[in-house]
Amino acid sequence: MNDSAGTGSDGNSAYGHKPFKRSRSHFADRVTADGRDGWPVEAGRYRLVVSRACPWASRALVSRRLLGLESALSLAVADPLQDDRSWRFTLDAGGRDPVLGIRYLSEAYDARERGYPGGVSVPAIVDVPSGKLVTNDYQQITLDLATEWTALHRPGAPDLYPEPLRAEIDEVMEGIYQDINNGVYRAGFADGQSTYEAAYEALFRRLEQMSQRLADRRYLVGDTITEADIRFFTTLVRFDAVYHGHFKCNRRKLTEDPVLWAYVRDLYQTPGFGDTVDFHHIKQHYYRVHSGINPTGIVPAGPDLSGWLIPHHREQLGGRPFGDGTPPGPVPDGEAVPPGGRP
């Protein structure tokens, strides 16, 4: 999670007071099967750093679970609250990540390049032996987990980016990214009425298109879960809890769209999706960190989360969530979402 307003206290207070522009990933190296960027896929070598609050990082959490990469790619979870050095490991004993031995993710960034332009963002993959950041390319990380890490996938792992469907997946994801994933931020961090209204209109226009698309099909592309569903899910799951009120995306709640509400419940109740979502972290981060648009820091008590577990009946549309594969196994010890973060 990163943007041109920067990170830390100054950047957070600037939200809503300066134009919003999402930063491009500065570190775009890839971890690949052939190691062409100098970072070969290797079990145990890398650590995935996420915030459970961040929708961009949550993509990687879901992908890692679905593909069964937990034992091959270890996980570091940052505190949803930031200080002036951004993402920190205050959830861990002694305030240090137990594998990397650092207090702040910025230390891995500095080990790679001191004085680089831009903020400290998640998701990030860090090389454990050197302590250096490898990549913060949130658009590419999950695609590589699906296509370059196949030798380390669990038996029965789904194909999240099937080659025959990639052109369609890419097209659907581009619209979702521009108008929905990024659109909620353009609305929430708008510095003027016209900027806000343009983002707001594009967001709900695209949501309506997606609702129509999903009215008679269970998943966005093909009859199985793909990368497109993962990217859509991580915004939808935050919609009523954060974006509807905090980001002023309030034409309607997600629960008021029968198709999208059933679709996102279907995914939430699918192993690998809802078991990565921490509503407590999500609300704490957005409402307490974005001081520029919520200066009181008051965190809403709602919404009621019990609806996430209501039957969705989307199985009547057919589809096979994991294709010829199988669901992921139980959440590994130490990675379960605490009771306060789930329905």
Q: One-letter amino acid identity for 295?
A: P
- Give the distance, in angstroms, between the CA of residue 293 and the centroid of all CA atoms in the same chain: 21
Determine contact, residues 217/316, Cβ cutoff 8 Å.
Answer: no
Helix (H, G, I), strand (E, B) or coil at 302: coil
Residues near 133 by beta carbon (within 8 Å), at least 6 away in sequence: 27, 108, 109, 111, 112, 124, 125, 126, 127
- With the CA atoms of 217, 221, 223 and 226 taken in that order, what torsion angle do they form, in degrees rounded to the nearest 10? -130
Task: Please give the positions annotated as active site.
Answer: 54, 185
Helix 227-236 vs helix 258-268: crossing angle, to nearest 10: 110
Tell me the CB-side half-sphere exposure of residue 155, using CA atoms within 13 A: 0
* Rounded Cα distance, 187 and 184, in Å: 5
Query: Strand pairing partners for 28?
Result: 135
Helix (H, G, I), strand (E, B) or coil at 307: helix
* Rounded Cα distance, 12 and 9, in Å: 5
